[in-house]
Amino acid sequence: MRIIILPAFNGDCILVEFQLSHYILIDGGYVDTYENYLLPTLKEIAARGGELDVVVVTHIDGDHISGIIRMMEDMPIGIREIWYNGYRHIQSVAVTAAEKETFVHRNISKECQAEKAKTISAKQGCTLSALIAKNGISWNTPSKGYTIMAPMTFPLGDAIIHVLSPNNEDIEALESFWKKRLIKDGLLKKAHSEEYWDDAYEFSISKDMPGFHFHEKKVSKSYDLLMLCKEAYEPDSSASNGSSISFVLETEGKRLLFLGDSHAETVVASLRTLYCEEKAPYKFDAVKLSHHGCYNNNSPELFSLIVSDKWLISTNGDKYNHPDMPTLAHIITSGVNNQLYFNYPLPVCQELLKPDYHEGHDFDVIMPEGDKGITITI
């Protein structure tokens, strides 16, 4: 089994190969990620007669979804199914088109009706939802077309998937955010088709900004790992990140944890329900950290529940300077033989190679050779 973390700048693009030429693609990074790294890989798989068993679009964010949209325009490889929660999946109750119309006219302000109000007409047909429909790809099949959300367990061939997030509260928070954002952006100017609502949803949610504290991460030998573990934890409040699909993949006697950009609180609750709290901590053969190693998405409580010797971090450190040092400190001090895998040679990697950090701590820092990301064999 292999996990390939492609260069996706500050985003995610992860390809999992399991059970002899079965593939899961988790997010697609940016367009450049797709064109320079993902596309050549997909062409190689297609040339061998392979296809993607499933594409998981964890949530709407440019660093996760842009490359997927470009891939769906090209379709260089067969795709059996896609897991992605679009507009139609965030509705807390089933509503008719007429009810949507009522919601529109009840909430639109005069400003939204003005000529300056924004529309998404130019974007229609270019969003992921439209491309899924156009290409006729099976959509959220495990949930019979409804929301992929926790708690949910289902087979994927001979493998088993356990969905950890989002939960119902996360979806409700996203729906609330979306409605407010649509009104603010003037996108509720007029009721339209289901496709319009999908487009409006993607356009609005993509503008969500995380509302969390950013840790200053000066790379310095003055870091005290034990003190960093005591730094106050502040949970991520982004509705978009909270809607992220995270899951456990069980296959070939292995258990892998992919956290997307999920909220730690939802993941903790799901893990305790799934595996029974009495059996904690839970052993995983690899863990892809949430939100590029941001401390606001990887809580001390989460680290107290999971054990692994392989920790995967996808980021080039741009934009928010991820990963956060408190996150890394919790991993390094949690046990022996911890391996931290990075898909970029970050300055923090070079810092952590210094002998001072290894006094009393058993860990390795693994960086890519070249510019094509990193491959982890499980």
- The mean per-residue pLDDT over the stretch 251-258 comes to 97
Q: Which of 93-107, 119-133, 216-230, 341-355 has the highest mean pLDDT?
A: 341-355
Residues 6+ apart with CB under 8 A from 375: 2, 3, 4, 5
pLDDT value at 193 more than 70: no
Q: What is the pLDDT of residue 57?
A: 97
How far is 51 from 49, CA to CA, in rounded Å?
7
Q: Which of 125-139, 301-315, 342-356, 359-373 has the lowest mean pLDDT?
A: 125-139
Asked if 260 contacts 58 with a C-beta cutoff of 8 angstroms, the reply is yes
pLDDT value at 226 more than 70: yes
- CA torsion angle for 131, 136, 138, 139 (degrees, to 10)? 30
**Helix or strand (DSSP H, E) at 327:** helix 325-332
Residues 6+ apart with CB under 8 A from 329: 223, 225, 226, 228, 229
Q: What is the pLDDT of residue 272?
A: 97
Q: Does domain 2-377 have CATH number 4.10.860?
A: no
pLDDT value at 102 more than 90: no
Distances from the Cα of 368 to the Cα of 31, 40, 42, 65, 313, angstroms: 21, 18, 20, 24, 12
What percentage of residues in the chain have a pLDDT greater than 70? 81
With tokens 């693609």, the residue in question is 25
* CA nearest to 228, candidates 297, 327, 302: 327
How far is 101 from 288, CA to CA, in rounded Å?
42
Which amino acid, 177? F
Tens digit of pLDDT for each residue in 61-96? 889 999 999 999 999 999 999 999 987 777 633 343
| SS3 of the chain | CEEEECCCCCCCCEEEEECCCEEEEECCCCHHHHHHHHHHHHHHHHHCCCCECEEECCCCCHHHHHHHHHHHHHCCCCECEEECCCHHHCCCCCCCHHHHHHHHHHHCCHHHHCCCCCCCHHHCCCCHHHHHHHHCCEECHHHCCCCCCCCEEEEECCEEEEEEECCHHHHHHHHHHHHHHHHHHCCCCCCCCHHHHHHHHHHHHCCCCCCCCCCCCCCCCCCCHHHHCCCCCCCCCCHHHHCCCEEEEEECCEEEEECCCCCHHHHHHHHHHHHCHHHCCEECCEEECHHHHCHHHCCHHHHHHEECCEEEECCCCCCCCCCCHHHHHHHHCCCCCEEEEECCCCHHHHHHCCHHHHCCCCEEEECCCCCCCEEEEC
What's the pTM?
0.88
Tens digit of pLDDT for each residue in 43-62? 999 999 999 999 999 998 88
Tens digit of pLDDT for each residue in 317-362? 987 899 999 999 999 999 878 999 999 999 999 999 999 899 899 9
φ, ψ dihedrals at 171, nearest 5°: -65, -40
